[in-house]
Amino acid sequence: MNDFLHKLPQFIGNHVALSALFVILLLALIVIQAQILFSKIKELSPAGLTALINRDNPLLIDLSALADFEKMHVPGAKHVAMSQFDPEKKELAQAKSLPVVVMDKDGRGNSAKAAQRLLKAGFEKVHTLGGGVLAWHAAQLPVAKGNK
């Protein structure tokens, strides 16, 4: 270890670009992890969602396309098209104190945008399902079919 520390300045001097790239990537990783840690929106794994369902009975909102929702969705989830998603709607506004989980087909679609809109509307406990309904299905958890 001592030999490594003595050769490190020489390595950095010989490989400035590589060393700078390492520092930039390290800082980017730290910033991303800090954002995740301090975010008000928590991403849940399928197991985390199962625990939340068993503990708090959250409102589940699925923003997948209707055809994808009808093929499979988390049991108890309500389908809402993103174009119809409005956190200020009377029915949704009544759930401001409840935990709300927003999901879509693969976790890369509209769920993050919808979660941000919920936070701005005053919702207190906002979550997203990491990996979306596909991750739920991949974890071999039960899925519902149809439009209910």
Q: How many Cβ atoms sit within 10 Å of the Cβ of residue 24?
A: 10
- Cα–Cα distance, 90 to 3 (Å, whole number): 67
Statement: 41-138 belongs to CATH 3.40.250.10: yes
Q: How many Cβ atoms sit within 10 Å of the Cβ of residue 113?
A: 14
Length of the chain: 148
Confidence bin at 148 (pLDDT 50/70/90): low
| C-alpha pair distances (Å), 79 with each of 8, 31, 41 | 56, 34, 20
Domain ranges of the chain: 2-37, 41-138
pLDDT digits (tens, 9 = 90+) for 101-129: 999 999 887 898 999 999 888 888 999 99
Q: Do 56 and 99 touch, CB atoms closer than 8 A?
A: yes
Packing angle of the helix pair 16-38, 2-14 (nearest 10 deg)? 110
pTM of the model: 0.75
